[in-house]
Amino acid sequence: MLRLGPLAAAGRLLPAGPRFGPPRPSGGRVSLSRSRPPGPVGDRGLLARQVRAAAGSAGGGRSPVLKTPKGTRDHPPAHAALRDRLLAAVVTCFKRHGAAAIDTPVLELRETLMGKYGEDTKLIYELQDQGGELLALRYDLTVPFARYLAMNKITNMKRYHVAKVYRRDNPATTRGRYREFYQCDFDIAGQFDPMIPDAECLKIVHEILSDLQLGDFIIKVNDRRILNGVFAVCGIPENKFITTCSTVDKLDKMPWEEVRSEMVGEKGLSPEAVDHIGEYVQLHGGLDLIEQLLQDPKLSQNKLAKEGLGDMKLLFEYLTLFGITGKISFDLSLARGLDYYTGVIFEAVLLQPENDHVEEPVSVGSVAGGGRYDGLVGMFDPKGRKVPCVGVSIGIERIFSILEQRVEASEEKIRTTETQVLVASAQKKLLEERLKLISELWNAGIKAEVLYKKNPKLLNQLQYCEDTGIPLVAIVGEQELKDGVVKLRVVATREEVNVRRESLVEEIRMRTSRP
């Protein structure tokens, strides 16, 4: 039995196989609005010929290529419905922790984004000069948030933001990596006592991954100060800390031998120093490892490392109170390559996704990440005033790729609409009565549909309910009109009851509010 968890239940999975024959395509089609071009009606033919001529000349007479750009994709109704419910589950968690929503432009000034992402700066989509402004598409939601805080002189805020970001990366669609994708961020800005906000961010990651039932997972934690301390005691020059950190960050994708080769060959570090780094960055554990490193003869003498280890110990104490240390690993290989991190960093990875119905494991890598960035707001403030921040980003695309494959393998389909009832008729010449009834239902807030035919066959109306998952049918007929009732049919069981017209709204609400 494939377990899809509470999210799938919220998505209202429908059993495969209709009651009235093979399924038809969903009736929830999307129509494109047709706008009339300016000018007289007769100009439309001329405009069409001009468009065809331009397309022909651009493509050498061939038809235009119909495809989405590399690293992007369309989402049909079933995917969009699943995504909406996934996003809703994440946002529900954010709201449970007291966050308020904000939104920022998809465009930022190029100078706002440059110099904040280390080696990943090359992945920013830069735009041509737009009338004197040099712009770029946002790379993440963290830097725009820091700009927002500085611009509005905000020093204390708990916010969430769900929006698309853009990266000129090599897409790997099977792993949920795209050039256009959603991020779901939760951040706490303000001066607070150490590690309390950081612990809450980790608790949020734990809650979301547990609620979605994606399989076993681990949340790796580290601290940039500890890493920088390691680099210092290993003899790495301070001006090479960031570039060394970017290379260590590749340990989740490359074996140590390849990372070592890059450090020596490309970054110009001495083999002795790199081997010394390797002794540290391959360690992982819990409180015992923290205590061990606090006694390390070299690290204990480094101020940054000592501060980081002290805060890491405090963080584990709070995580113990939250009851989640079983899913937390202190991992010195975790680096997170972005320049703006200054303290605690963390990343959640799936260990063994449930794939009972999938022949090959679903490989999706990291599904959440974040950390502390105490200096980022100060980069934008004219006076350099800092606002300490910590936050987490949920990798919604990678999680969606797991759920998508799981639903496809289960041979079940997800409802793409929320319609509660179809208004139908069993006889001809009752269109007016159907329209009167559906108007009453709409006015009462009931989600209802009617087929766009004057005299539809009852079988076709029932089949439409099967295809789209509508649970109830309100049938009007000549006898029902005389008696002042509506025949309410439960599609799943074929049960039929006569309901007084004035009681219909309440009956529909009662029957569709049941779990």
Tens of pLDDT, residues 351-371: 864 455 544 444 457 899 999
Q: Is there a single domain that holds both residue 360 and residue 505?
A: no
Band of pLDDT at residue 450, cut at 50, 70 and 90: very high
Q: Is there a single domain that holds both residue 389 and residue 491?
A: no
8: in domain: no
Band of pLDDT at residue 303, cut at 50, 70 and 90: very high
Q: Is there a single domain that holds both residue 265 and residue 221?
A: yes
H-state helical runs in 363-503:
376-380, 396-410, 431-443, 458-468, 478-483
- Closest C-alpha among 368, 376, 345 to residue 145: 376
445 Cβ partners below 8 Å, 6+ apart? none
Across the range 455-460, mean pLDDT stands at 96
Residues linked to residue 347 through DSSP beta bridges, in sequence order: 220, 369
Looking at residue 120, its pLDDT comes to 80
6: in domain: no
Looking at residue 171, its pLDDT comes to 79
Q: Is 43 annotated as a binding residue?
A: no
Least confident of 8-22, 187-201, 401-415, 439-453: 8-22
Q: How far apart are the first and last CA of the chain?
A: 20
Give the C-alpha separation, 194 to 207, whole Å: 22
**Which of these three, 410, 441, 459, is where a domain ends?**
410
Stated as kind and residue range, the H or E segment containing 92 is helix 77-96
Tokens encoding 118 = 């280390």
22: in domain: no
Looking at residue 183, its pLDDT comes to 94
- DSSP-based helix, strand, coil % in the chain, nearest 5: 45, 20, 35
Q: 447: domain CATH number?
A: 3.40.50.800
**Relative orientation angle of helices 431-443 and 504-512, to the nearest 10 degrees:** 70
Tokens encoding 301 = 């003498």
Looking at residue 60, its pLDDT comes to 55
Q: Is there a single domain that holds both residue 473 and residue 365?
A: no
Q: Is there a single domain that holds both residue 397 and residue 457?
A: no
Q: Is 140 annotated as a binding residue?
A: yes
Looking at residue 83, its pLDDT comes to 92
For the chain, how many structural domains are there in total? 2
Q: Is there a single domain that holds both residue 310 and residue 347?
A: yes
Give the C-alpha separation, 236 to 247, whole Å: 13
- Domain containing 335 equals 77-410
273: in domain: yes
Q: Is 341 annotated as a binding residue?
A: yes
H-state helical runs in 166-223:
196-212
The number of residues making up the chain comes to 515
- pTM value is 0.81
**Which of these three, 410, 432, 459, is where a domain ends?**
410
Tens of pLDDT, residues 470-497: 999 999 999 999 999 999 999 999 999 9
Stated as kind and residue range, the H or E segment containing 312 is helix 303-322
374-380, long-range: CB < 8 A, 24+ apart:
374/342, 374/343, 375/340, 375/342, 376/116, 376/142, 376/143, 376/146, 376/340, 377/146, 377/149, 377/150, 377/189, 378/150, 379/116, 379/146, 379/150, 380/112, 380/146, 380/147, 380/149, 380/150, 380/151
Q: Is there a single domain that holds both residue 284 and residue 310?
A: yes
pLDDT higher at 39 or 207: 207
Least confident of 52-61, 407-416, 481-490: 52-61
Across the range 109-133, mean pLDDT stands at 87
Question: What percent of the chain shows pLDDT beyond 70?
Answer: 85
Q: Is there a single domain that holds both residue 392 and residue 439?
A: no
Looking at residue 310, its pLDDT comes to 96
Is residue 9 scored above 50 in pLDDT? Answer: no
On whether the CB atoms of residues 437 and 498 are closer than 8 A, the answer is: no
pLDDT higher at 433 or 172: 433
pLDDT higher at 130 or 58: 130
**Which of these three, 383, 410, 437, is where a domain ends?**
410
Q: Is there a single domain that holds both residue 405 and residue 425?
A: no
12: in domain: no
Q: Is there a single domain that holds both residue 261 and residue 160?
A: yes
Q: Is 183 annotated as a binding residue?
A: yes
Q: How many CA atoms lie within 13 Å of 295's alpha carbon, on the beta-carbon side? A: 5
Tokens encoding 324 = 């989640």
- Closest C-alpha among 132, 171, 139, 237 to residue 397: 171
Band of pLDDT at residue 43, cut at 50, 70 and 90: low
* Backbone region of residue 368 per phi and psi (left: phi > 0; alpha: psi in -120 to 50; beta: other values): beta
pLDDT higher at 75 or 47: 75
Q: Is there a single domain that holds both residue 403 and residue 436?
A: no
Query: CA dist 226 to 229, 230, 231, 366, 380, Å?
Result: 5, 6, 9, 22, 26
- Residue 462's CB is within 10 A of a number of other CB atoms, namely 21
Tens of pLDDT, residues 263-287: 999 888 889 999 999 999 989 999 9
Question: In the chain, what is the greatest distance between 2 CA atoms, to the nearest angstrom?
Answer: 94
Is residue 13 scored above 80 in pLDDT? Answer: no
Is residue 372 scored above 80 in pLDDT? Answer: yes
14: in domain: no
- Give residue for tokens 């493509």: 59
Band of pLDDT at residue 21, cut at 50, 70 and 90: very low
**How does DSSP assign 369-390, residue by residue?**
EEEE-TTHHHHHSTT-----EE
If you compute the radius of gyration of the chain from its CA atoms, what whole number of angstroms results?
29
Least confident of 28-37, 111-120, 322-331: 28-37
378: in domain: yes
Is residue 57 scored above 70 in pLDDT? Answer: no
pLDDT higher at 15 or 92: 92
H-state helical runs in 114-177:
142-151
**How does DSSP assign 94-131, residue by residue?**
HHHTT-EE----SEEEHHHHTTSSGGGGGGS-B---BT
Looking at residue 347, its pLDDT comes to 95
Average pLDDT across the chain, whole number: 86
Tens of pLDDT, residues 184-225: 999 999 999 999 999 999 999 999 999 998 889 999 999 999
Looking at residue 166, its pLDDT comes to 95
Q: Is 187 annotated as a binding residue?
A: yes
Is residue 55 scored above 60 in pLDDT? Answer: no
On whether the CB atoms of residues 331 and 281 are closer than 8 A, the answer is: no
Q: Is there a single domain that holds both residue 460 and residue 354?
A: no
Across the range 417-433, mean pLDDT stands at 96
185: in domain: yes
Q: 300: domain CATH number?
A: 3.30.930.10
Tens of pLDDT, residues 144-183: 999 999 999 999 999 999 999 999 988 777 667 789 999 9
- Give residue for tokens 């260590």: 248
Band of pLDDT at residue 130, cut at 50, 70 and 90: confident
